[in-house]
Amino acid sequence: MIPTWFLYLTGFSMLILGALQLVHRPHKPDASVAERFINLGTFWSLLCMAVGVALLAMALGYWQGPLGAATPPPHKVPRYH
């Protein structure tokens, strides 16, 4: 089980990382929109943002992750001696 605070922390950091990479990518001064945004760097930024959204969805309880919900612990029967 991953702690919720860790999911929030990594989710927000991945969103911020992806957005900053998308905004502050170096480009030529006369580059067209296609040259500036259709490349591997943009794909990586969008992937970081998608992972951040998925982590935040897990932290908020909307998604259980790729492995599903964890199995509950076995029911303990009280022992009477």
User: CA–CA separation, 55 vs 6, rounded Å?
Assistant: 9
- For range 31-49, the mean pLDDT: 86
**pLDDT reported for residue 40:** 87
If you count DSSP H runs as helices and E runs as strands, how many of each does the chain have, helices first? 3, 0
Cβ 52 vs Cβ 12: under 8 Å: yes
Question: What's the mean per-residue pLDDT of the chain?
Answer: 86
Q: Reduced to 3 states, what is the DSSP secondary structure of residue 67?
A: coil
pLDDT recorded at residue 52:
96
Measured distance CA(60)–CA(46) in Å, rounded: 21
Provide the whole-model pTM.
Answer: 0.74
- Each residue of 49-62: pLDDT tens digit? 999 999 999 899 88
How far apart CA 61 and CA 36 sit, in angstroms, is: 36
- How confident is the model at residue 81, as a pLDDT? 75
pLDDT at 36 over 80: no
